[in-house]
Amino acid sequence: MIDLSTQIASLRLQNPVLTASGTFGYAEEFADFYDLNRLGGVVTKTVTIEPRPGNAPPRICETPAGMLNSIGLPNVGVEQFIAEKWPFLSRLVNAVIINVAGKTPDDFVRAVERLDALDGIAAFELNYSCPNVKEGGLSFSSNPRVAEQVTAMVRKVTRRPLITKLTPNVTSISEIGRACEAAGADAVSAINTLVGMAIDIHSRKPRLASITGGLSGPAIRPVALAKVFELARVLRIPVIGIGGIQSAADALEFILAGAAALQIGTANFMNPGAALEVVEGLEHYCAGQKIARLMDLRGAVKLK
């Protein structure tokens, strides 16, 4: 038997493959494609304390080997999430990780506090890339002081594993990671999207109504891998790698760089079976290479 399992704080995952927030809906959207319980777990679309309608269209555009999005975190709000989305999610037997965001630190606290009452949540992931209205719209993870403060506040209201999801749009992602670790985060996930833009030269308008948006997909994989490598070298808590992963080979790069788990994002759109294929591909690779425990490869990149 090949052991694909991994550990994120107190949370044991049967395999390291998770789905990235905002690219897998509330999992129900993918239930027709395969048995969701084969994944390590799912991370939900971001939930906020109040419902949000999302941004005006156009919200997406294709770029070379990537895409831009400015979806705007549309969601039904915590209460309706509990009433409408949670029943399906709560029946999954693998890890269900709830991704939470807010406009203020207090929004994060209130959402997590309310959700913490639910049975069966495996962990919380805090989306720190969203704009913090208290700090002039800068993201919660663009400043170590703010990241530390929010993490500490949320830490007080839940004992569940807490994952902070970091933006790559900073000078030093490891400084932010360290601040989260110091404040009690159990893991970090990285990366969220890169700030990007595209213009339609015919209409002369930005291709997204929000002007700039978030770049994701294979195009950003090298950036994501560098950030994950950097974080894994300085943090004691586990790092969850995200960014342009399409295949088991891509996932292995992140594991070798030090990731304890992975999230599949944009790839789900082109290939709804992508996340399962990564699980199967990792299994197949271990079998072929006679690797008994996948996590033995974690951080095993040869630097000399």
Ligand X SMILES: Cc1cc2nc3c(=O)[nH]c(=O)nc-3n(C[C@H](O)[C@H](O)[C@H](O)COP(=O)(O)O)c2cc1C
d(CA 24, CA 165): 16
- 292 or 303: CB nearest another protein: 303
Binding mask 247-286 for its own copies (x = CB under 8 A): --x--xx--xx-----------------------------
Asked whether the beta carbons of 129 and 192 are under 8 A apart, the reply is: yes
d(CA 48, CA 61): 25
Answer yes or no whether residue 229 interacts with its own copies by CB under 8 A.
Answer: yes
What count of Cα atoms within 13 Å lies in the side-chain half-sphere of residue 91?
Answer: 10
Please select the residue that binds its own copies; options are 133, 182, 199, 270, rule is CB under 8 A. Answer: 199
Answer yes or no whether residue 303 interacts with its own copies by CB under 8 A.
Answer: yes
Active site residue 130: yes
- 82 or 195: CB nearest its own copies: 195
**Beta strand segments in the chain, E:** 6-8, 11-13, 17-19, 41-43, 60-63, 66-69, 95-100, 123-127, 162-165, 187-190, 194-197, 199-200, 205-206, 212-216, 239-242, 261-264
Binding site residues, ligand X, CB under 6 A: 20-23, 45-46, 69, 71, 73, 99, 127, 165, 192-193, 216-217, 220, 242-245, 264-267
The interface partner of residue 193, options being another protein, its own copies, ligand X, none and the CB cut-off 5 to 8 Å by kind, is ligand X
> Where does residue 111 fall: left (phi above 0), alpha (psi -120 to 50 degrees), or beta otherwise?
alpha
The interface partner of residue 303, options being ligand X, its own copies, another protein, none and the CB cut-off 5 to 8 Å by kind, is its own copies
Answer yes or no whether residue 302 interacts with its own copies by CB under 8 A.
Answer: yes
The interface partner of residue 301, options being its own copies, another protein, ligand X, none and the CB cut-off 5 to 8 Å by kind, is its own copies
State both tokens at 275: 């996340």
Active centre residues (catalytic): 130
Chain contacts with another protein (rule: CB under 8 A): 22-25, 29-30, 45, 51, 53-54, 56-67, 69, 71, 74, 205, 209, 217-218, 266, 268-270, 272
